[in-house]
Amino acid sequence: MAKLIVNRLFLGLLTLFAVSVLIFVCTQILPGDVASAVLGQGATPEALVIFRRELGLDLPPQTRYWNWLSGALQGDLGVALTNKRVIMDDLLPRLRNTLFLAGYAALVAIPLSVGLGVLAAINEGKLTDRLSNVLTLIAISLPEFFVAYLLIIFFAVNFQWFPPLAMVSKGMTFGERIFQTTLPAITLTLLVAAHMLRMTRSSVLSVMSTPYIEMAFLKGARRKRVIVRHALPNAAAPIITVVALNMAYLVVGVVVIESVFVYPGLGQYMVDAVAKRDVPVIQACGLTFATVFVALNTLADILVILVNPRLRQQD
């Protein structure tokens, strides 16, 4: 088991290294010139040469990549081109805001979706099961920005229960943050809960046809007891995987939601950097998103190994 866990950790680090190469290459092959975009059309050739030298654009690509990666490993993500501020000073508060929003949505979505998924499996073929299938299919089909705008229209404009914009600041109390981020959290919950509910239901039902489940029914056990005591623990591996993937989506996929609600998170920070063509900030945000995504998926692989005894033994 220890060997499998070490192997997963190594693959996670290898994946993160490959992603860092991809991020660097994609930002370098973007059309146009970064120096010209920052200095504007009125920049003189001498100013462009000096600015490119300051950015290190006169160095070979492999040297620039190594300088960027070594700095990132030491916690130095560089300086923003637009305001000359240290990127880490602006990135960390926004990352905390994004993690707060993702954690808020996860605390609601995970128990809700797993509980409703088990309930749908217990009532397979009944009205509860059919209704959950229809509602989750609708939730999956709707674009995230459309769901966000609908919530704003109903709960912010018509009923005025929540603010339309999720504006948070450093001096806010915990309760004020919860109130300000309720609408984006509900939006994220509706998006990820549908996937987790359907996966929980299908995972539990796939275990129901196994011989030991049939034996439990032959002994007279009730369907609810069989699912909760026997089927659910053995269906935990795919449920853990889909929960981890949706947790990663809550962090990585909040770009659109943060833009709609003007939430000062990492996604909004990246959108602003793209609009201003601030390449160091884009690279820093991309690497942060990739680190969170790979870390959560690696953690899911390790948890699957721990909860499934069959994966502890190699063929």
pLDDT tens profile 6-44: 888 888 888 888 888 888 888 777 665 666 666 666 667
Radius of gyration of the chain, Cα coordinates, nearest whole angstrom: 24
CA distance 121 to 130: 11
**Residue keyed to tokens 């109130």:** 179
Helix axes 2-28, 61-73, angle to 10 degrees: 130
Give the start-end residues of each E strand in the chain: none
The structure's pTM equals 0.77
Domain 93-312 in CATH 1.10.3720.10? The answer is: yes
Q: Is 60 helix (H, G, I), strand (E, B) or coil?
A: coil
Torsion of CA 111, 115, 116, 122, to 10 degrees: 170
Task: Pick the range with the lowest mean pLDDT from 79-93, 173-187, 200-214.
Answer: 200-214
pLDDT tens profile 241-274: 777 777 777 777 778 888 888 888 888 888 888 8
CA distance 247 to 276: 29
Look up residue 16 and give its two tokens: 């993160």
CB 87 within 8 A of CB 79: yes
Q: What is the largest CA-CA distance in the chain?
A: 86
CA distance 19 to 186: 31
CATH 1.10.3720.10, the chain: domain bounds: 93-312
